[in-house]
Amino acid sequence: MYGILLYDGVEPIDVGATFGVLSLARRIAPDLTFAGVARQPGKIVCASGLKVVADHGFDDAPSFTDLIVTGGPGWVDAASDPATRACPGASSARLSSICTGAMILEASGRLEGRRVTTKHEVYAGEESPLHMLADRMQTEHAAIVDDVGIVTSGGVTLGIDAMFYLLARSHGQAVAAEVARVMEYSRALAANRDAPGYF
């Protein structure tokens, strides 16, 4: 079962990438299950005000095989919250992050000694999260980095590619390819994979 870590200020596209790809995948692999988890169950206010609902709080969450940490401008507060840091910090699930979710994973202590990536491109005047991590660990300006099973991905839309990577790892390349076809994302995925620095 996939767990998707949510928090106030999560980026809506990260919510869409995770839940969206898994929702379509479940039509092909009916055994696939997923749920949103947050500090408390219930309403989460995303960046720019979109509201979503976390199925579980940390205290009542089921056992996850995979825990995906989403990104967004709320990562700063989430990484400072002991309970949110402890969720991936104490998890026995396979860990992954999309976009600035890596900043929360780093704050939890789970990225120590690993190669990682995260969001690189930012607005004028902002500091790149990838550069922030570079002070403390080995970073790569890449779409996806898999270091001994912990997967981190680059910024924003690359979360979609990361979901296909995770889907292929758990349910096989054939399932991932079929979901990409149905989503009409096969061409974009192939172009991204062929780009320099994808892995």
The one-digit pLDDT tens for each residue of the chain (199 residues) are 999 999 999 999 999 999 999 999 999 999 999 999 999 999 999 999 999 999 999 999 999 999 999 999 999 999 999 999 999 999 999 999 999 999 999 999 999 999 999 999 999 999 999 999 998 899 999 999 999 999 999 999 999 999 999 999 999 999 999 999 999 999 999 999 998 788 8
Global pTM reads 0.97
Residues 198 and 32: their CA atoms lie apart, in Å, by 27
CATH fold group of domain 2-112+155-187 = Rossmann fold (3.40.50)
Residues 142 and 153: their CA atoms lie apart, in Å, by 7
Question: What is the model's pLDDT at position 197?
Answer: 80
Question: What is the model's pLDDT at position 92?
Answer: 96
Tell me the domain boundaries of the chain.
2-112+155-187
Question: What is the model's pLDDT at position 86?
Answer: 97
Cα 168 to its chain centre, rounded Å, is 15
Instruction: Count CB-CB contacts under 10 A for residue 94.
Output: 17
Order of strands, edge to edge, in the sheet holding 150-153? 56-57, 34-38, 2-5, 66-69, 94-97, 150-153, 144-147
